[in-house]
């Protein structure tokens, strides 16, 4: 074999999924930065990420269980540099802890595993922001119960971006995706008055649930109200109130808060919802806030997304907005 | 058979389309509230609804004839409670009168039936707001002619939300969906100066039609103008002018006024159109106005809608916005 | 009101979903013939139909839970007259017993309900052929266990049309859709040698499962073998053998036996599978056989079907082929 | 300007839709061969083609009106050379007479125009085979009535390839696409016994229509029967019988005779229908037969076809098969 | 033949693609106004249009090569009258020069042809605005190099509307669509400080490219900044600066500047991008500016657009906005 | 941390893409068997696989460059056990050599790399069957030229399964996907009489190309002829003839030989093509033949495949059929 050949071979044979075009796109990409870890011990990070691929608990057929992996695949298309804010996210350390393994047919067992994994993550990474990637909204109840287990003496406050109240009763059908906030209130983990739901609008909550919300003094802030005051101002005000009354903040972002025109891949999204830009602005504010400790993103079903995956991309963008906020705050703190 | 079994059977066997998930979604839903009536006599209602499933009269192939039924099916996903305004629509009584039966191949006969049905509905429910669900825009000419028949001495004013003027000449091809306003002006039922068209924009009306509009003094208010003044202010101003100059208001909403990004299920929608939020705001104002007597929604083709049916959902939302306005006005009146 | 008007009104106003075109299609349609019953007592029928809308138990995300209702909706497009065989199915009486109500998050409870409902149906309609409409393949294990409960002394034989063996172990993940035949063999309800699986082909069964099948003497008849002998001859031979060795026949049709070109709405369908025509021929033979007592159709996911719903239509056609066979046999018997 | 530039310009600037790739595909293509004529006088041809773009007369929403143009656009992808038979179709002369202009809202007027155009084409091109491109099946009644007008003393025979009988009564809804054969029998233009329908199968004809067919002695040949005898043999036998009993043959091909797996773009296609190969074989036999004088292709809706337009391509292929048969017969006759 | 017939024939037979509905839509349409020319000599026009159907040079698979023809086909649906501005575009003369013919496999040859054609167009139509229709963004480098060849002593300024910097290095993979601005800066045709990029946002540019941009003093104006200042004000300010520092303006519109919700047919579009309305406003300002000499639109892939072609329509709308600006300026100048 | 927790963590946290359902499907799967190798030296195998992800050379826009990776991703769904033949493919050793790295804009350089990589693979694995995975059909010319370089004294025979002749002239547009066989004949690498093309049918080859084929004595065997003789018999006969006249066999499978109903993901597939079953049968015969040394699969575009990826799955199935043939032959040889 002549040496030219040999060089050619070395130069031009690639492993699958590494053809040049993909390679060329990889410089400074998110997947080069976020570290996937097998072993949790002895690690430190600004944020840790945990997949919660459960959607058998959804009222309607849902493929939200596919989101954690679709999300990671999509982030290969994103740079670590946020141009609007002029900040490189690689100034933060972020660990990907992997996915919680789900049981095939025992939904309650899957819920227990999500809770247990949240407990472990919260203990080992107690200086990090924990980021849960659902899955459907039932995972939020598990995660918050886990935090209550780790921090039994702390009062937990919830900032919820959602079109729905998620206050359905569990008695007829168990802890489905329509029930997480109800579970937490009924179970005593969270008080209704410590829940702020921003983004409610239209005709998507039954009268009985609104009555429950009022009775338990859940703070319902409609999208109309939020727009009148300003989305970011509304979020800031809610965060301020929660800081005064609670010890630990949990943010839950139900992607169905988005307008159906921007989020075809969230089956429960509706007309009249938030624009992606509004959500991105809200999440930047949340990321900047020093009280942010725990956040999750739920109910995005990549199986139903349209060609080009606009909703999955909006999901990755949302996640990066939180990190941008954190990076700006870190820079401001001079770290 | 032991009794345990028997109870199981009673508890767990359901009729088709009534599995629990659907059931659970049904509490306080629109389809539990709007009453479908076979017999019109002796009924009273705040509003009555009549399907006009005709689209053989469309210039292009159209499935808008499928909309009345798709619309009713979709409203099962909507609550009666409007969260933004804090009002439960079930404070209104709304009757579903069914659909006008169309002829299979005689379009003019179908037009006659729509006119006749409008006459009947207007007579029997003269205290109600009548709501027509098209069908293509040709149904508007039939409905207005029917009203003129019932109220021959009244001057009719038209508030039109539309991207197009719908002023095409009927001579070459008959009363198609591009002609309704022209039919009414040429036929003497309505004067051009009593037509206010809000939402016109872009490059979607031929120069000749604009000349006709100017000649007949049709009030053309572009979307750009409406946005500069404010959408709701623009609608209010048009309503005020129509109240001064006419006796009876007919509102026609061509769903192609929406931007194509929000309304994939309206084949004639275009870039640069209204957002759904803008339309919802306009319809709330219209619903609140005491002069509202007749309204229709046309040209939404569910067959062309994308997965998740965003346009059909926007259509139901639009309809409910009118009712929300009515409910607010009713509450204000202390009824 | 003049009488012309009144007549018009009577003649031309229709209830939703009853415009003429649909009406015209309804003469002699399946939905006019199959009777939906609320009350089971005191009824008799040649066949009874029970929906089993469970697919949370599927390994992959599945919308097969939507099939029972999609199936009933689609049959509105089918006549009761089979032209090929010159027989009108309305010579048979068929009752639709409705759906078994599923629990929202407790899959095993749903399985128990399917078993209980099967027990009830088998007892009350012990002269009828019972037809289960899944749902995913996990429902078959429930149904057969139910029959074993009713007929503890009978040996049950299974004729399975399937691309897969469905012999996965339940230990890691419970009674999912990959396990029903394994559940029945391991649980002692059925012997491996009393299972005939026709339609196996290609590369879709793990070596370990094939070893299990051999060990338990499951009769594996590949599609290639069936085609060489003739599909109908193969089915007849299997039925003959089962009649000699077992007391009660259960037929289970996993729609993934179909070629992916004909069944886009069965996610597990593969290239190299049966044509719809081959399946229809097989089902006619099965319907004609006097040993037919129980049959189910599973794993058809209407959510994934393409526009026009070819797979759902193939599902209805399959169901009617069984009934055609029964009608021919009844005619032959002179009933 | 230097001459190099000028040459470049001449060489490399092309008119729209003529970039090289398309050009390269155009050698020996169908659209280079079939001549589109504005003026009918003084022309001669082996076959003439007339578009009949009407589908407002369809029971269900149909875009079959778009087929004549979609058909012509698709044939740009086809060569004039049939490889299987080794014959170049350019040995035939074929004229494209254009489309009959439809009225926008008067369906009966459109029917009259189709009839009138058929009369003209039959008179002027009485030595040519006329090929109608629908449109929905209602056009067939117009065309046959036109022929009866031109040839009042001839008995017309119909060979129909169809899943349906198309024998619905016109009284409730006029001459829709479900009625053409009934129109012709009831109107006396054709006798039921002179109609041969090949391809009937399954559950797609109401019992009442089958009774009508029997009463009028329509020859119903099921697809099952045709396959048992052989498709081509069945067609040949029908042609032979028609030649003995009638003077003039009209062939009508309802593309819904195809299996839904091969014809997603024919909304009325069903499982269990003809394969494209079977239809192509049948059409070759028809093309070869010297009795072929008139043929139409109807009910293909390109709007509903899937990406890649498999059904439109099957439609062009079908059309070319007839011409291949004609070219083979011409070669055999030594012309 | 009687004369009635003859008249019918004349009246009602149409050439393909000219059935009435289409005809009726054609009055005052764009395709009636823009003149397609075979011969360039001796022509004058306000604007000339040249298709550049190249996308083999795209990093990812792209069908942008189909856009020039899809664009021309879509403009048949647009009127020449801009309602918002009350101006008829037919007051301008616009010539369609056709497409540059691409080589099948030699991308650099295709680039040379685009450059050569640009040179010719610039020379012959030096009083016209030249409008290039891509194709992918690599065509911009060719076009600007062509202008530099014609006007070697002029300083060229670039106004770029884009989500990306397009500053990738050509060394590993040649002049692909990610490289045009880099090619021009590295090649000395344009200085970095003479490039204004408006619309940058989010996470879509690698850190290394941002460093290059800073080093070469490319003016990066984020969408956030543009919105804070006002989109039109931002564009006006950039134009003003370019006029002061450069001799000749080239505007390049990468359609991926649009939000993915409005531009599904631009594979590189992202969440958080411009709305179509914002782009339309920007283009109106650009069209009004007397410094406008050259503009191109690139990277719109009609193959990936959704049903209804919203992105192609937005592309045509964008093009017409520039012409509207030009028509307003012409009217103002009293021409 | 208590030990229960720690165990939970170990047991239930998984790396991305390894949730249980996927894991459970992985036993005995193809991706567990085929070994991906970075280093070629010192390896031995029954077959080696090389991806050739080039489709910039396609006449029409093509995403066939995505196939090698889509193919590998899809094989995760396939077992190593062929049920029809009762053989476990893991009795063969198969190495995945990766992909040839393509240049971004220099197509001829990409062609050179494919040729060079083929030379290397042929030299190092001269006892193995080499399997090329395209890419478009232009890669075949590169591969065969590479073999001719390694074995200059051997006569190469080509067995081509294809709807097209691929005999276009390269002079106008270079070595595109329509030219490979012409390149080889014109370049002297292969004689026309040593090419057997099986599967030709219909109207998809220009008359001029057929003349070229006849002139060079290319063996054209139509699908009709193949079906009359039997597909497998036809392939066997062609192999026998090639063995007599040539020294080295190259098989090229253009997936467009498949019928468009079975292969929506091959843009050039047509009606009237092979069924997947026919192709699978042919490939089994080819795999069994001891003369098989080199084979490629080309022109499958996964980007255009429908939901469920039936064509990609047919591509994997086809590949496995060749290996099944090889495994059967190996077993027969007692290895």
Domains and CATH numbers, chain A: 3-332 (3.40.800.10)
> Known binder of ligand: residue C259?
no
Contact between chain D and chain A (3 or more Cβ pairs less than 8 Å apart): no
* Nearest chain A alpha carbon to B278: A272
Confidence grade of residue C1 (pLDDT, cut at 50, 70, 90): very low
**Closest by CA position to F276, among listed C310, C260, C204:** C260
pLDDT, tens digit (0-9, with 9 covering 90-100), for C32-75: 899 988 788 888 999 999 999 999 999 999 999 999 999 999 99
Quick one: average pLDDT of B1-18? 60
pLDDT grade for F163, boundaries at 50, 70 and 90? very high
CB contact under 8 A, A84 and E222: yes
More confident residue, B335 or B290: B290
pLDDT tops 80 at residue B264 = yes
State residue E318's pLDDT score.
98
Which has more confidence, C263 or F7?
C263
Q: List the single best residue of F203, F211, F267 to mutate versus D (max D Cβ within 10 A).
A: F203
3-state secondary structure chain F: CCHHHHHHHHHHEECCCCCHHHHHCCCCEHHHHCEECCCCCCCCCCEEEEEECCCCCCCCCCCHHHHHHHHHHHHHHCECEECCCCEEHHHCCEEEEEEECCCCCCHHHHHHHHHHHHHHHHHHCCCCEEEEEECCCHHHHHHHHHHHHHCCCCCEEEEEECCCCCCCCCCCCCCCCCCHHHHHHHCCCCCHHHEEEEEECCCCCCHHHHHHHHHCCCEEEEHHHHHHHCHHHHHHHHHHHHHHHCCEEEEEEEHHHEECCCCCCCCCCECCCECHHHHHHHHHHHHHCCCEEEEEEECCCHHHCCCCCHHHHHHHHHHHHHHHHHHHHHHHCCC
The answer for residues whose C-beta is within 8 angstroms of residue B131's C-beta and 6 or more apart is: B47, B48, B49, B50, B294, B295, B296, B297, B319, B322
**What's the rounded mean pLDDT across residues B120-125?**
94
Per DSSP, the three-state class of C40 is coil
Asked if F260's CB is within 8 angstroms of D310's CB, the reply is yes
Q: Can you read off the two tokens belonging to residue E197?
A: 């990029």
* C200 has a pLDDT exceeding 70: yes
Please provide residue E137's backbone torsions phi and psi, each rounded to the nearest 5 degrees. Answer: -70, -10
**DSSP string covering C84-145:** TTTEEGGGS-EEEEEEEPPPSS-HHHHHHHHHHHHHHHHHHTTTSEEEEEESSTHHHHHHHH
Chain C, chain F: beta-carbon pairs less than 8 Å apart:
87
pTM to 2 decimal places: 0.96
For residue B334, say if its preceding peptide bond is cis, omega within 30 degrees of 0. no
- Residue A17 has a pLDDT of 57
pLDDT above 90 covers a percentage of chain F that reads 87
B111 is in an annotated binding site: no
C-alpha distances in angstroms, C281 versus C158, C299, C325?
A: 19, 20, 10
| E325 DSSP assignment | H
pLDDT of residue E2: 45
> Can you tell me the mean pLDDT for C110-136?
96
Any CB–CB contact under 8 A between C16 and chain B?
Answer: yes
Residue C72 to residue C81: CA distance in whole angstroms: 17
Residues of chain C neighbouring F81 (CB-CB closer than 8 A): 203, 205-207, 210
Query: In 3-state terms, what secondary structure has residue E162?
Result: coil
Is residue D169 a known part of a binding site? no
> For residue D62, what are its two tokens?
């149909």
What pLDDT score was predicted for residue A38? Answer: 79
| Beta-bridge partners for A167 | none
pLDDT at A20 over 50: no
Are the Cβ atoms of A104 and C172 closer than 8 angstroms?
yes
* pLDDT tens figures, F296-322: 999 999 999 998 999 999 999 999 999
Going by the DSSP 8-state scheme, the letter that residue C157 receives in this structure is E
Q: Assess whether pLDDT exceeds 80 at residue B4.
A: no
Give D129-182 as a DSSP string: EEEEEESSTHHHHHHHHHHHHHSTTSPEEEEEE-SS-----STTT-S-TT-HHH
Higher pLDDT residue, F197 or A334? F197
Q: Is C280 in a helix, a strand, or coil?
A: helix
- In the prediction, which pLDDT does D193 show? 98
Q: Is residue A281 a known part of a binding site?
A: no
Number of Cβ atoms within 10 Å of the Cβ of C133: 26
How far is the C-alpha of D164 from the C-alpha of D268, rounded, in Å? 9
Check residue C205 and give its pLDDT.
Answer: 96
Q: How many CB pairs under 8 A join D and F?
A: 88
How far is Cα C321 from Cα D54, in angstroms, rounded to an integer?
36
Give the integer Cα–Cα distance in Å for E22 and D334: 44
> In whole angstroms, what is the distance from residue E249 CA to residue E133 CA?
17
B173 and D103: CB-CB below 8 Å?
yes
Query: Taking a C-beta distance cutoff of 8 angstroms, is the pair F268, F299 a contact?
Result: yes
Supply A37's token pair.
């870890």
E86: nearest Cα among B203, D3, B228, C65: B203
pLDDT at A75 over 50: yes
Q: What's the pLDDT score for residue F4? A: 53
Q: Which chain E residues have a beta carbon less than 8 Å from that of A81?
A: 203, 205-207, 210
- Contact criterion met (CB below 8 Å) for B178 and B168: yes
| B135 prior amide bond cis, ω within 30 | yes
Residues near E316 by beta carbon (within 8 Å), at least 6 away in sequence:
E30, E71, E74, E75, E77, E78
Lowest mean pLDDT among B20-29, D5-14, D150-159: B20-29
Rounded to whole angstroms, the Cα distance separating A296 from A177 reads 14
pLDDT tens for each residue of F32-89: 899 988 788 888 999 999 999 999 999 999 999 999 999 999 999 999 999 999 999 9
Q: Residue D2: pLDDT above 70? A: no
Q: How wide is the angle at C-alpha B242 spanned by C-alphas B240 and B244, nearest 5°?
A: 75
CA F260, CA D313: separation in Å to the nearest integer? 9
Reference E159, options E226, E102, E64; nearest CA is: E226
Q: Is pLDDT larger for residue B173 or for residue B233?
A: B233
Cβ contact (<8 Å) for F82 and C260?
A: no
- Nearest-10 crossing angle of helices B276-288, B231-245: 40
Cα of D120 to nearest chain E Cα, Å:
7
Q: Which of C25, C97, C101, C309 to mutate to test the interface with B (most CBs of B within 10 A)?
A: C101
Chain-chain contact of D28 with F222 (C-beta, under 8 angstroms): no
Distance from CA of D137 to the nearest CA of C (A): 16
- The answer, for B29 touching chain A at a CB cutoff of 8 Å, is yes
**Interface partners of C (3+ CB pairs, < 8 Å)?**
A, B, D, F
The strand pair at E87-88 and E94-100 is best described as unpaired
Say whether pLDDT at B27 is over 80.
no
Q: Which residue has the higher pLDDT, B263 or B8?
A: B263
Touching B: D residues 155-184, CB under 8 Å: 172-176
Q: Which residues of B touch A210 (CB under 8 A)?
A: 81, 83
Return the structure tokens found at D328. Answer: 């083979």
Average pLDDT, chain B: 93
Q: Residue C6: is its pLDDT beyond 70? A: no
d(CA E57, CA E140): 12
Residue D297 CA from chain centroid, whole number? 2
pLDDT tens for B50-97 read 999 999 999 999 999 999 999 999 999 999 999 999 999 999 999 999
Q: Return the pLDDT at F41.
A: 82
> pLDDT class for C25, splitting at 50, 70, 90?
very low
Return mean pLDDT, chain E: 93
Is E205 an interface residue toward A (CB < 8 Å)?
yes
Residue C42: predicted pLDDT: 83
Strand partners, B132: B50, B296
Res. E27 pLDDT band, cuts 50 70 90: confident
- Residue F125 to residue A174: CA distance in whole angstroms: 60
Residues 44-73 of D with CB under 8 A from C: 59-60
Q: Point out the residue among E105, E173, E174 whose CB comes nearest to the CB of F57.
A: E105
CA atoms within 13 A on the CB side of B54: 31
Per DSSP, A303 falls in state G
Q: Which residue reads 């996907």 in tokens?
A: F177
- B269 interaction partners in chain E (CB closer than 8 Å): 308
Euclidean distance between CA atoms A42 and C209, whole angstroms: 42
Residue pLDDT, tens place only, A185-211: 999 999 999 999 999 999 999 999 999
A 88-147: CB under 8 A from C: 103-108, 138
* Residue A25 pLDDT level (bands cut at 50, 70, 90): very low
pLDDT for res F10: 66
CA distance E66 to chain F (A): 9
């Amino acid at each position: 074999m002549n040496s030219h050949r040999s060089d050619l071979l070395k130069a031009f044979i690639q492993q699958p999924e590494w053809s040049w075009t993909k390679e060329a796109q990889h410089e400074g990409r998110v997947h080069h930065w976020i570290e996937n870890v097998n072993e949790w011990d002895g690690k430190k990070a600004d944020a840790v990420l945990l997949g919660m691929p459960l959607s058998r608990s959804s009222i309607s057929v849902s493929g939200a269980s596919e989101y954690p992996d679709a999300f990671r695949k999509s982030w290969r298309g994103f740079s670590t540099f946020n141009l609007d804010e002029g900040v490189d996210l690689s100034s933060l350390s972020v660990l990907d802890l992997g996915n919680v393994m789900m049981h095939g047919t025992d939904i309650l067992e899957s819920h227990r595993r999500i809770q247990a994994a949240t407990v472990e993550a919260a203990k080992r990474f107690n200086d990090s922001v924990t980021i849960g990637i659902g899955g459907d909204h039932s995972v939020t109840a598990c995660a918050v119960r886990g935090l209550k287990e780790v921090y039994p003496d702390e009062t937990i406050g919830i900032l919820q971006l959602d079109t729905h109240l998620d206050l359905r009763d569990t008695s007829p059908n168990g802890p489905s995706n329509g029930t997480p906030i109800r579970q937490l209130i009924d179970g005593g983990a969270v008080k209704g008055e410590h829940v702020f739901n921003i983004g409610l609008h239209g005709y998507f909550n039954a009268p009985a649930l609104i009555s429950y919300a009022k009775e338990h003094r859940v703070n319902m802030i409609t999208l109309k109200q939020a727009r009148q005051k300003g989305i970011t101002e509304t979020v800031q005000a809610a965060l301020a109130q929660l800081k005064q009354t609670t010890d630990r903040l949990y943010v839950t972002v139900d992607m169905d808060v988005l307008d159906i025109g921007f989020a075809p891949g969230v089956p429960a999204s509706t007309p009249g919802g938030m624009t992606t830009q509004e959500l991105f602005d809200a999440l930047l504010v949340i990321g900047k806030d020093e009280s942010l400790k725990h956040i999750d993103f739920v109910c995005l079903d990549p199986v139903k997304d349209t060609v080009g995956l606009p909703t999955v991309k909006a999901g990755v963008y949302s996640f990066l907005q939180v990190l941008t906020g954190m990076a700006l705050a870190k820079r401001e703190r001079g770290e």
